[in-house]
Amino acid sequence: MTQSPAAQMPGAEHGLFFGRVFAAMHQGARPLLMGIILLAVIPVLIVLFWVLPVTLGVCLARRKKLSPLWMLFGIHPIGGWVACLVLALSKGKVECAKCGGYVKPNFRQCPFCEQAMASPTPPKPSA
């Protein structure tokens, strides 16, 4: 009883992706087409899972007046998504009217110039 070439390939019996690709290429599949598809898919995955959270995180940090250095966690792809989530859920900072420093919105006094911060007025109930 002879085995098919795909069954003789290492990794094919375990169902591994690269074992299947190698077995398909060995059986006469178009290796150029497979290479082009892999060259198109891998950069898209890198952009989606690594570059996208870092870019979104930097934009969120600038919009909320927070430090974009949070996105240094983006060196690791999962760290980039976690840092982006932290920035999305954090409150932004407000600017002091006197010195222009950025402080947290719950501060009553600016820590830089000791100017009293304007407290946000609650919305008036409509009658």
What value does the mean pLDDT take over residues 99-127? 76
pTM of the model: 0.55
125 falls within a domain? no
Same domain membership, residue 112 and residue 73: no
126 falls within a domain? no
Report the Cα 127 to chain-centroid distance in Å. Answer: 45
The string of pLDDT tens digits covering residues 67-82 is 888 888 888 888 989 9
Whether pLDDT at 37 is above 70 = yes
What value does the mean pLDDT take over residues 37-48? 83
- Bridge partners (DSSP) of residue 95 are 102
Q: In which residue are the tokens 């077995």 written?
A: 23
pLDDT band at 16 (very low <50, low <70, confident <90, very high): low
- Which H helix or E strand runs over 20? helix 17-26
Same domain membership, residue 79 and residue 99: no
Whether pLDDT at 3 is above 60 = no
pLDDT band at 2 (very low <50, low <70, confident <90, very high): low
Spell out the long-range contacts of 64-67 with Cβ–Cβ below 8 A and sequence spacing 24 or more.
64/90, 64/91, 64/92, 64/93, 65/92, 65/93, 65/94, 65/95, 65/102, 66/90, 66/92, 66/93
| pLDDT for 70 | 85
- Which H helix or E strand runs over 61? helix 52-63
| pLDDT for 29 | 55
Same domain membership, residue 100 and residue 57: no
What value does the mean pLDDT take over residues 54-68? 89
Same domain membership, residue 98 and residue 71: no
Same domain membership, residue 78 and residue 58: yes
Maximum average pLDDT range among 13-22, 25-34, 40-49: 40-49
